[in-house]
Amino acid sequence: MDKIIRSDDEWKELLTQEQFEVARKKGTEPAFTGKYHDCHENGIYKCVCCGTDLFSSKTKFESGTGWPSFWAPVAEENINLIIDTSHFMIRTEVLCARCDAHLGHVFDDGPPPTGKRYCMNSASLKFIKD
């Protein structure tokens, strides 16, 4: 997968301010405010920055957290996981493997079969209906 590298000014031209703050500056949208936290349609969630397929509606579940949650990515190679020690916590950050967009975090309290909860920001995603 070819990496996409752009300057902040280039990203600002392509994204809304909220998308830029979340995806490029590692922000977080407030719980229950994102457009996909209560989405129940079938389709694919893509990276808002580069269009890489990230999550399928088939793995989406109601976590009660206020953010769209998934128990698995479309493909492990489409995401990168890194340790995040910000805010006095140790978490695992989820990034788009193609453009390094901040997507959210993954936790070990999800449902079977993986036991994972990929807690994503709607602002980092673009939903394409089947």
Catalytic annotation, residues? 119
- Report the run of H or E that residue 13 belongs to, with start and end: helix 8-14
Q: How many residues does the chain have?
A: 130
Distance CA 66, CA 30 (A): 8
> Does residue 125 contact residue 36 with C-beta atoms inside 8 Å?
yes
Distance CA 44, CA 70 (A): 12
3-state helix vs strand vs coil in the chain, percent to 5: 20, 30, 50
